Structure 1
Amino acid sequence: MCSTPDLDQISTPVMPAALDCVTRKPQQAEVFSAPSGLSQASLLHQIIAVGSDLVSTYSNRGWWPRHQRQNARSLLRRIQILLTLFEFLLESRQTLPPLANLCLKEFYVIVHRARFLLNYFFQSSRLWVLLRNQMISCQFHELGHDISTLLDVLPLNELGLTADVREHIELLQQQVGSAVLRYDSRDEELRNKVLSFLNEFEEQRQPDTADLKTTFLDRVGIQDAMGFESEIKFLEDKIYNNRESYAETASDWATLSGVVAVARYSKFLLFGIHETVEGKQKYRNNPAPNSISVPSDFCCPISLELMLDPVVVSTGQTYDRSSIAQWMASGHKTCPNSGQSLVNTDLIPNRALRSLTSHWCAVNSVPCRSVQGSSGCATTLVAAKATVEATRAITQILIQHLSTGDLDSKKTAAGEIRSLAKIAKENRIIFAEEGAIPQLSLLLHSQNPIAQENAVTALLNLSIHDTNRRKIINQEGCLTSIVTVLRRGLTPESRENAAAAIFSLSTLHDSKKLIVDEAGGAEALAWMLRNGSTTGKKHAVMALFNLSMHPESWERMVDSNAVEALVGALQDEIVAEAAAGALALLVRRSIVAGLLGWEEKAVMGLAGVMRTGSSVGRQNATAALHEIRRRGGTVVGKRVAGVSEVSALVPTVPLDGTKRSRMKARKVVTPPRRRRQWL
């Protein structure tokens, strides 16, 4: 354990609880141990190889980090002195006493721990080293303490050392024995200075530009926009992708996120938003820094985000509690995914899925904030508010460039909004509140492919928040522009993301009729379903599924050939089940039921879903065939009931279907009951 530092030598922390959390010592990346079965010479060879590699790699570096420099150099000097001992023992070829052999194995562990720590130090970003100043200092001090302990135990008198080797080792023994844990007061003051900017934002005061420049450029050593981008990416990777267990409370995530927000604000303020080479690659191929691929089964069908509190509704579908509760509170009485009526509003916790998502979060170091203890709560709120206010300041800069900047500035600003809107719910709220939606809507008409793609994707990411969907729908001309991109977008990604945006907007009941009536919208979705990529087809079929829920959508769906496209999609196993669900809603209209009843491709396609689909898919196909038979007329009903493929598949539905679906399955092939004739 680290000894308590001399508090008189450290400036008073700005946010003590947050600092303690950020600097908590991480678990070691691996457990080091000396390999068994090695001869004395082999063990010495390996120790010397690792130690020499460290000294040669880092002693002559042209660039050294500004922080922890003294600790790193002291450790390298100690390793270099120890190498003289190990090289002497190897050259002397003497048989060492048992205690010395035991010490050698511990020295093997020491040099590997030193390599791990120095690699960690040199490969980390400047801000990360600064934020973890106390933890890294502890690590260096512990290594020095362990070296001191081994030198005290090592039987020097029994090793036959030459005078110069012994003199060096004894001097090292004195140095490490008298060393105490001290933090560099300048590094501590600078760390507190960086974190003080969080306090300023929390108080809704934007830091002084000159103060930011002095702190980050002159003292931290970040020299340009690319330097800031590298720092931001490193910290975000630590937050979202790293498996190092350094953050165990909400205040860890909040404080680190706050520092990222301050760094991003400083980058824009000091260097503008001119796109960097790294930024171009980010917008095109990696739109969000936290782009871990979340398993689709863990995502809420409504919000498309990781389910933190999964619950099951009466239809058997699972949603995140907050999303489905919002859906029901808006007056919806159907299941968003299946379209079936909700017989009650009960939300049953899906504990099995909750356990799986929690385990996935732990393995991938994804912050799972659904349950937080009271520890550090006040600090978390402060840091979270600072992040919000810093993001608001960033937003104002970006929207200013969207409004008055040149094309390159608008393109880059839209790309930044696209990226930030994907990261967190709070960002989506802030961007909408500050007026990003009207400016992004105008950028959809750009003839620059990347600008258009960034704009439509940014709107898609903003639409993940329910309130923002309403703002997008109500923004004059925005829906028309999104449909235009869907029809004639300049890149395949633009068209796909436009389809995804329409899918997101179509989850609102009030927007369904607006989307269906929008000129060319249904036709474009039908085209995407027939000809798009796998991703585009998924977005298109889910959008058509949502639109089919509206009772007045069927006529436009028929006239636009969307129904025909849904029938064709029954042959595509990737989208077949969703297509069957959409058709099950549309055939509630007698005209549509009659049309599909005479369409052999439709009947056989639904039969195929009954044969190979999941439980939900089979239920959707059964419901569609049942409605076709019931509403399509007597002739159509007999025709459907007489299809051998359908009658052969009906017995499979009771295996895992609901009582209602089993009843529908039987009615698909049951001859219609004749009405009694009264004389």
Structure 2
Amino acid sequence: MCSISGYEISKPVMPAAFDCVTRKPQQAEVFSAPSDLSPASLLRQIIAVGGDLVATNSNRGWWPRHQRQNARSLLRQNARSLLRRIQILLTLFEFLLESRRTLPPLANLCLKEFYIIVHRARFLLDYFFQSSRLWVLLRNQMISCQFHELEHDMSTLLDVLPLNELGLTVDVWEHIELLQQQLGSAVLRFDSRDEELRVKVLYFLNEFEEQRQPDTADLKTTFLDRVGILDAMDFESEIEFLEDKIYNNRESDAKTDWATIAGVIAVARYSKFLLFGIHETLEGKQKYRNKPAPYSISIPSDFCCPISLELMLDPVVVSTGQTYDRSSIAQWMASGHKTCPNSGRTLVNTDLIPNRALRSLTSHWCAVNSVPCRSVQGSSGCATTLVAAKATVEATRAITQILIQHLSIGDLDSKKAAAGEIRSLAKIAKENRIIFAEEGAIPLLSLLLHSQNPTAQENAVTALLNLSIHDANRRKIINQDGCLTSIVTVLRRGLTPESRENAAAAIFSLATLHDNKKLIVDEPGGAEALAWLLRNGSTTGKKDAVMALFNLSMHPESWERMVDSNAVEALVGALEEEIVAEAAAGALALLVRRSVVAGLAGWEEKAVMGLTGVMRTGSSVGRQNAAAALHEIRRRGGMVVGKRVAVVSGVSALAPAVPLDGTKRSRMKAAALARILQRRKVATPPPPSTMAAAVCARVAGYRKRFES
């Protein structure tokens, strides 16, 4: 047995815990009626589901927050009409159950169809009641068609049902005849006022598209008086609902114009800020901030370019084996860089080999997710670019101007709220990040980093982090006077753990551009703060810190600051923590290319043991990084250090297994390490005091040469 709203019924039956707000109203072919039930049992199920449907929806609040009499409930007449007709049908079914008459075969067949109809009605009414006002308004014609289709099917069944053979009483006959007349004369109708209201909302979209801001009084009349959105909370609920629809995109309806839905979201958000300000929008923002980007389909990380973090339009492979988008890596090389951005290894040539396998997977993903494709110039494949409609961009620009004004001249609460909105909006769309930077958000957010209000500081640094996802914004942030210093200050003395963690993440993002690495490394206190966070931070903080140190380690002149700031020591310690061990091994593999760092790391037994542990349990990339680090330590750390590496238990056994996969360069280093360890005769290392003195002398010598 299973339950539908308190009624115990026999399987099989369509579920009634519907969550139908995420789906289109169901078509008839989706349902099936039970085939193993007696007519009496089937009647009981129809009465139970239909009775619960009428009782629930007849007393249901028609959006209970709405109190104004002149604001109408959308499609209300269609919904109430459907409920009345189901209620009349229930009188027929209750009579048939109570009469206990043997029903003719045709009547039994009709009962199964009525069973399907009451379930379809339940889905449709739940869809209608649980949807937001704007969604129902935009889907006005589709929902009206669904109501009309149900009425048409009811009329057909009543015409087929052998009423003369059922022994109906006079009052039941009268009800059914009246219902037949009503259904027979029913026509598909769209409420003209609802349609006029839908066109009005789209008119606001057109105004933005023409770069005109809608009249404030017109917005107020439309949304407050006619749609019935009464306050900022109502607006926020509408926006969240529409964003969820775009993100989930569970309605496989090719006619749904998602760009228009995104535009309506922007219009609603603009209206919310314009009519109610930003002070009322803080409640529930944590949930909003943590939501995935709704303006575009969530792109698998494997399809994103490591440089731009956007969908790869034309994936190509460079000489190190890494894959990038052609335009991004070409721009990187054109700027004079000779290293791989992801691995830091030197590019032996500038050849860009098309990654046809990944391009095929990307194209398939686009087709499955109904993402429009376009041809990429100079390639035979196709890819996508998710670009918001012009109206959405212009509405976002108008929203930005409101937020910038609050951020510029507002009080602390206004600035805090504005930074929170920028934090949220910069996270969800590339276009938003571009517009905020163009409208001057970066200098104002930089000033807010000095706030003594924990929330204001956290919102500001996180907003800058989200803005930095866009390449051009990274340059603007790093070039903004005092901005990098302020971010490092938050990293060192942030008022909340989240502020410090997001400051580390911002440094990681900024350091993805090669030109920024030296500026960040030279910033006083930055490397020390990252080292401290790597040792003492939360799990998230340690991940952010180790990735920032990894990016900074790619710069050839970073090694001395890494040594002086104890960052190398922190990276060695991180080898013992599984969550950051592989990234720490990657950073050390870059730093130990310097003899001084190789000597220091080689003398640390836990460094060699930690790298050995990564070789034993790490992923393919982690094992390659650990083998490369050990190879550089043995090669550049001197004879004594090389012998010390050779005697560590497990290195000789693990090294031969590493070259089986990975890039060509990593395979070569791992193979070289394996060969050297296999033929080296183990020698007893000198006493620790002698080794320490030798390393210290080498460090002093290198620093003296560096200073001169």
| TM-score normalised by length of structure 1 | 0.87
Cα gap change, 1:226 to 1:531, in 2 (>3 Å): same
Report the alpha carbon displacement of residue 335 of structure 1 after superposing the two structures with TM: 2.3
- Report Cα offsets for 1:290-347 as digits up to 9, x if no partner: 7998765555443445667655443333445554444344433322222222334455
- Report Cα offsets for 1:177-234 as digits up to 9, x if no partner: 2211121111111101100111111111000111111111111111111111111111
Aligned residue pair count: 672
Conservation of the 8 A alpha-carbon contact between 2:106 and 2:162: yes
What SS does the aligned partner of 1:547 have? helix
Conservation of the 8 A alpha-carbon contact between 1:587 and 1:624: yes
Cα distance in 2, alignment partners of residues 360 and 301 from structure 1: 19
Cα distance in 1, alignment partners of residues 110 and 510 from structure 2: 68
Conservation of the 8 A alpha-carbon contact between 1:13 and 1:192: no
Q: Which moved more, 1:372-381 or 1:540-549?
A: 372-381
Conservation of the 8 A alpha-carbon contact between 2:14 and 2:31: no
What SS does the aligned partner of 1:311 have? strand
Cα gap change, 1:329 to 1:36, in 2 (>3 Å): farther
Q: Which moved more, 1:427-436 or 1:18-27?
A: 18-27
Gaps of 5+ in 2: 69-76, 670-679, 685-702
Q: Which moved more, 1:361-370 or 1:77-86?
A: 361-370
What residue in structure 1 maps to residue 111 of structure 2? 104
Q: Which moved more, 1:375-384 or 1:205-214?
A: 375-384
Identity of aligned residues (%): 90
Cα gap change, 1:20 to 1:40, in 2 (>3 Å): closer
Conservation of the 8 A alpha-carbon contact between 2:266 and 2:396: yes
Conservation of the 8 A alpha-carbon contact between 1:22 and 1:131: no
- Report Cα offsets for 1:553-612 as digits up to 9, x if no partner: 111110000011111111122221211111111111111112222221212222222222
| TM-score normalised by length of structure 2 | 0.84
Cα gap change, 1:586 to 1:47, in 2 (>3 Å): same
What residue in structure 2 maps to residue 669 of structure 1? 683
Conservation of the 8 A alpha-carbon contact between 1:5 and 1:183: no
Cα distance in 1, alignment partners of residues 9 and 460 from structure 2: 47
Cα distance in 2, alignment partners of residues 192 and 678 from structure 1: 72
- Equivalent residues in 2 for 1:90-489, closer than 5 Å: 90-246=97-253, 252-276=257-281, 278-282=283-287, 297=302, 300-304=305-309, 311-320=316-325, 323-347=328-352, 384-489=389-494
Report the alpha carbon displacement of residue 368 of structure 1 after superposing the two structures with TM: 8.8
Q: Which moved more, 1:263-272 or 1:58-67?
A: 58-67
Gaps of 5+ in 1: none
Report the alpha carbon displacement of residue 253 of structure 1 after superposing the two structures with TM: 2.0
Report the alpha carbon displacement of residue 114 of structure 1 after superposing the two structures with TM: 0.2
What SS does the aligned partner of 1:459 have? helix
- Report Cα offsets for 1:464-501 as digits up to 9, x if no partner: 00000000000111111111111111111111111100
Conservation of the 8 A alpha-carbon contact between 1:65 and 1:122: no
Conservation of the 8 A alpha-carbon contact between 2:400 and 2:439: yes
Cα distance in 2, alignment partners of residues 181 and 10 from structure 1: 35
Cα gap change, 1:58 to 1:377, in 2 (>3 Å): farther
Cα gap change, 1:389 to 1:19, in 2 (>3 Å): farther
Conservation of the 8 A alpha-carbon contact between 2:11 and 2:34: no
Conservation of the 8 A alpha-carbon contact between 2:9 and 2:45: no
Cα distance in 1, alignment partners of residues 13 and 331 from structure 2: 39
Report the alpha carbon displacement of residue 634 of structure 1 after superposing the two structures with TM: 2.5
- Report Cα offsets for 1:146-165 as digits up to 9, x if no partner: 11111111111111111221
Conservation of the 8 A alpha-carbon contact between 2:366 and 2:384: no
Cα gap change, 1:562 to 1:64, in 2 (>3 Å): closer
Cα gap change, 1:373 to 1:296, in 2 (>3 Å): closer
Report the alpha carbon displacement of residue 646 of structure 1 after superposing the two structures with TM: 1.7
Cα gap change, 1:217 to 1:556, in 2 (>3 Å): same
Cα gap change, 1:676 to 1:649, in 2 (>3 Å): farther
- Report Cα offsets for 1:253-290 as digits up to 9, x if no partner: 21110000000000000111114353443467658667
Cα gap change, 1:359 to 1:393, in 2 (>3 Å): same
Cα gap change, 1:253 to 1:63, in 2 (>3 Å): closer
Cα gap change, 1:101 to 1:668, in 2 (>3 Å): farther
Cα distance in 1, alignment partners of residues 314 and 376 from structure 2: 9
Cα gap change, 1:340 to 1:678, in 2 (>3 Å): closer
Cα gap change, 1:263 to 1:677, in 2 (>3 Å): closer
Q: Which moved more, 1:100-109 or 1:573-582?
A: 573-582
- Report Cα offsets for 1:114-160 as digits up to 9, x if no partner: 00000000001110000000100110011111111111111111111
Q: Which moved more, 1:299-308 or 1:557-566?
A: 299-308
Conservation of the 8 A alpha-carbon contact between 2:155 and 2:180: yes
What SS does the aligned partner of 1:3 have? strand
Q: Which moved more, 1:500-509 or 1:604-613?
A: 604-613
Conservation of the 8 A alpha-carbon contact between 1:402 and 1:414: yes
Conservation of the 8 A alpha-carbon contact between 2:5 and 2:52: no
Cα gap change, 1:661 to 1:228, in 2 (>3 Å): closer
Task: Say yes or no: does 1:61 pair with 2:75.
Answer: no
- Equivalent residues in 2 for 1:493-504, closer than 5 Å: 493-504=498-509
What SS does the aligned partner of 2:324 have? strand
Cα gap change, 1:311 to 1:275, in 2 (>3 Å): farther
